[in-house]
Amino acid sequence: MVRVGSVELRYTEHALNMMGQREIPPEWVERVLESPSLQLPNPKDTEVERFFGRIPEFGNRALRVAVNTRTTPWRVVTVFFDRAAGGL
């Protein structure tokens, strides 16, 4: 378990697999969660919020982090670079 600000955080197995496949370090995920450029509800799942942030170390691409914020600790559901979020 990890603490980001005042929130405890846990990664799902799926999120860890995606981070490994996509070479996304936990530090990037935690940075986006600590200081998101944009935070939106997930229209398909009311328990999940989407956090977005730019990653300068990866060509300034937008990282999307989907998190179940209704659980304690929060659960990171999935993580990916979102080409559709180019206008952040």
Mean pLDDT of the 52-62 span: 95
What sections of the chain are H helices per DSSP? 13-22, 26-34
Q: 15 φ, ψ to 5°?
A: -60, -45
80/6 Cα distance (integer angstroms): 24
- Do the Cβ atoms of 61 and 81 come closer than 8 Å? yes
Tokens representing 2 are 């990890």
Tokens representing 48 are 């999940």
Tokens representing 61 are 């691409």
pTM for the model stands at 0.92
Predicted pLDDT at 8: 95
pLDDT in tens, 11-54: 999 999 999 999 999 999 999 999 999 999 999 999 999 999 99
